[in-house]
Amino acid sequence: MAVPGNVIYFAGYDWLRTSRLSPMNGRVSDTYAPLVAGSTARVLAALVVSPIEMFRTRMQATSSASATGVFRDTLNGLSEMVSAEGYRSLWRGLSLTLWRDVPFSAFYWWGYEYGKDGLAEMRDRRRGRHETQSTPGARRASRSRSEEKHSQVLIDSFIAGASSGAIAAFVTTPFDVGKTRQQVLRHSPDAGSSHARGVATNGVRSEDKSMPRFIWHIFKTEGTAGLFKGWAARCLKVAPACAIMISSYEIGKKMAGGMNERKDMRDQNYNQFDDL
């Protein structure tokens, strides 16, 4: 589940930001490009991973004497579910994930790109570089990053990733609270009992409302404190995870870019030798 999800997420984000074939070209300004690309890449990754996550969840909840028995029973259970409810049932619960992860990805990539550009510009100023006003900031920072060493890339991406991850985690905590409460109630053994129903107006459970309405319900009944329950633990979990993930990705991308450049240089040298 992690491999295809991260491949689509990171590669999709880079493709949307840098490819000449990206549908964002000419439609989204550089200011909002990280926000749009991050949101779109997260949606695509979630669409692909959701059926795998459904299989993982049901497999962990299945008890059997052997691992092969668990796999077979889970597969049979999914087949019966698809036969009875259709293929759309494989994406059940996707909306809850998107309500939390899409805003997080938008804020995360937006903050990460601006944070990384800011660190690069600070380093340029310390080095005494002076760029003309006509050079766009994003292009100037991109050129500066292309000249950076691996250690500088690691430090910048780690700091920017941790900072933006913590901020995005804090801002989107209400969505995480809403997602967790709805999932816990819907999957609890006594979900249908009067004790678990928490019936609101018109006999509708507050947890069965749409995410915006449910978040508003939490705010009205518990205030801001209810919306941001667990924000510290969430930030402590997300910030280092984002820092490690994005810095590893950036270092790997820089190493791969260096290998491609050396290969291109060798090919050019071979071609020149053949011409001689």
- Please answer whether residues 107 and 172 qualify as being in contact, where contact means their C-beta atoms are separated by less than 8 angstroms: yes
* Residue scoring higher pLDDT (272 or 183): 183
pLDDT score recorded for residue 196:
45
pTM above 0.85, yes or no: no
Model confidence at 186, pLDDT cuts 50, 70, 90, reads: low
Span 17-43, pLDDT tens digits: 999 999 999 899 989 999 999 999 999
| Average pLDDT of the chain, as a whole number | 84
**Taking Cα atoms as reference points, which of 153, 164, 66 lies closest to residue 114?**
164
Model confidence at 111, pLDDT cuts 50, 70, 90, reads: very high
Question: What's the average model confidence in pLDDT over 204-225?
Answer: 88
Inform me whether the pLDDT recorded for 132 exceeds 50: no
Model confidence at 197, pLDDT cuts 50, 70, 90, reads: very low
Model confidence at 262, pLDDT cuts 50, 70, 90, reads: confident
Contacts of 59 (CB under 8 A, 6+ apart): 70, 71, 74
Model confidence at 248, pLDDT cuts 50, 70, 90, reads: very high
Span 63-94, pLDDT tens digits: 766 667 888 888 888 899 999 999 998 898 89
Distance separating alpha carbons of residues 190 and 192, to the nearest angstrom: 5
Inform me whether the pLDDT recorded for 163 exceeds 60: yes
Distance separating alpha carbons of residues 32 and 214, to the nearest angstrom: 28
CA atoms within 13 A on the CB side of 197: 9
Model confidence at 194, pLDDT cuts 50, 70, 90, reads: very low
Model confidence at 146, pLDDT cuts 50, 70, 90, reads: low
Question: What's the average model confidence in pLDDT over 199-214?
Answer: 73
Question: What's the average model confidence in pLDDT over 38-53?
Answer: 94
**Taking Cα atoms as reference points, which of 48, 53, 170, 19 lies closest to residue 108?**
170
Q: Is the dihedral of CA 219, 225, 226, 230 positive or negative?
A: positive
Model confidence at 276, pLDDT cuts 50, 70, 90, reads: low
Query: Which run of H or of E encompasses 94?
Result: helix 94-127
pLDDT score recorded for residue 148:
67
pLDDT score recorded for residue 133:
44
